[in-house]
């Protein structure tokens, strides 16, 4: 019996997951692997066109539509404050619990050099959460320790200077862009889809792996 991998994606805001690793998410799902996505904030500070509570609801709905298009409905919204994400004990406890409960083989998170503060905090929270989740000395109810085998840091606002792993997403690029365009509250002000298509094309050319590629910081490897 072949055991399929379980993949967990941590995103500071709805749409960061698609921008950074949407093609890889689509590939995992195509291969029959289970993908869960965790959003630390709901992105309520991402537009001035409507109030925060309404925008949060809109962006969560957009995330659900995008994920459904890719083929997953396993979404968790932690609803921490957008723009003020904090590194807290409660946040660490939550991350540890999620990892031990889902037991992912692979985790995607923003890479360590991302410039946006919420992205930096997400990296710190999730990295430390994974370290604690693996330790038997960190007890949390009935959940047993779990060590993530592969950890990859994805690009959003800050392109990587050093690439540790690349994934050809050529056959999933159209689907990735369709999923990203589900995030209309963001696309209407800044054409992230065009920027992402350009970055993934550049990565494809420079790595030589395919027409479009996603590139990652290799934090832990079992590839």
**How does pLDDT run across 40-79, given as a tens digit for each residue?**
999 998 777 788 889 999 999 999 999 999 999 999 999 9
Task: Reduce the DSSP state of residue 13 to 3 states and report it.
Answer: coil
Which H/E stretch holds residue 54? helix 52-70
Mean predicted lDDT score pLDDT of the chain: 94
Please compute, for residue 154, the number of CA atoms within 13 A of its CA located in the half-sphere on the CB side.
28
Q: Please give the pLDDT value at position 3.
A: 59
Provide, rounded to the nearest whole percent, the portion of the chain with pLDDT above 90.
87
With tokens 């298009």, the residue in question is: 69
**CATH architecture type of domain 6-220:** 3-Layer(aba) Sandwich (3.40)
What's the pLDDT tens digit per position in 203-217?
999 999 999 999 999
**So where are the chain's domains?**
6-220
Kindly state the tokens that stand for 114.
């991302």
Which helix (H) or strand (E) segment holds residue 211: the answer is none
What region, left, alpha or beta, does residue 32 occupy, with left being phi > 0 and alpha being psi -120 to 50 degrees? left
**C-alpha 163 chain-centroid distance:** 17
Give the best-scoring range by mean pLDDT among 46-60, 126-140, 162-176: 162-176
For residue 196, pLDDT beyond 70: yes
The percent of residues in the chain predicted with pLDDT above 70, rounded, is 98
Count the Cβ atoms, other than its own, within 10 Å of residue 222. Answer: 10
Instruction: Report the pLDDT value the prediction gives residue 1, as an integer from 0 to 100.
Output: 44
Question: Do 219 and 30 contact (CB within 8 A), yes or no?
Answer: no
Q: How many CB atoms lie within 10 A of CB 127?
A: 19
């Amino acid at each position: 019996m072949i055991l399929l991998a379980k993949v967990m994606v941590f995103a500071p805001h709805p749409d960061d997951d698609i921008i950074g690793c949407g093609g890889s998410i689509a590939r995992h799902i195509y291969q029959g692997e289970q993908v869960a996505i965790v959003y630390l904030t709901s992105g309520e500070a991402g537009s001035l066109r409507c109030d925060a509570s309404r925008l949060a609801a809109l962006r969560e709905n957009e995330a659900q539509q995008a994920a459904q298009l890719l083929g997953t409905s396993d979404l968790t919204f932690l609803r921490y404050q957008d723009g003020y994400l904090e590194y807290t004990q409660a946040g660490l406890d939550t991350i540890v619990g999620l990892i031990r409960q889902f037991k992912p083989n692979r985790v995607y998170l923003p890479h360590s050099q991302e410039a946006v503060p919420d992205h930096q905090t997400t990296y710190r929270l999730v990295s430390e959460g994974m370290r604690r989740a693996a330790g038997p000395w960190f007890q949390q109810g009935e959940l047993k320790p779990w060590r993530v085998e592969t950890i990859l840091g994805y690009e959003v606002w800050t392109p990587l200077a050093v690439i540790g792993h690349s994934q050809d997403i050529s056959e999933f690029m159209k689907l990735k862009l369709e999923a990203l365009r589900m995030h209309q509250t963001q696309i209407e002000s800044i054409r992230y889809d065009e920027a992402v298509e350009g970055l993934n094309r550049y990565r494809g050319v420079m790595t030589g792996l395919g027409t479009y590629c996603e590139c990652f910081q290799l934090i832990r490897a079992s590839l």
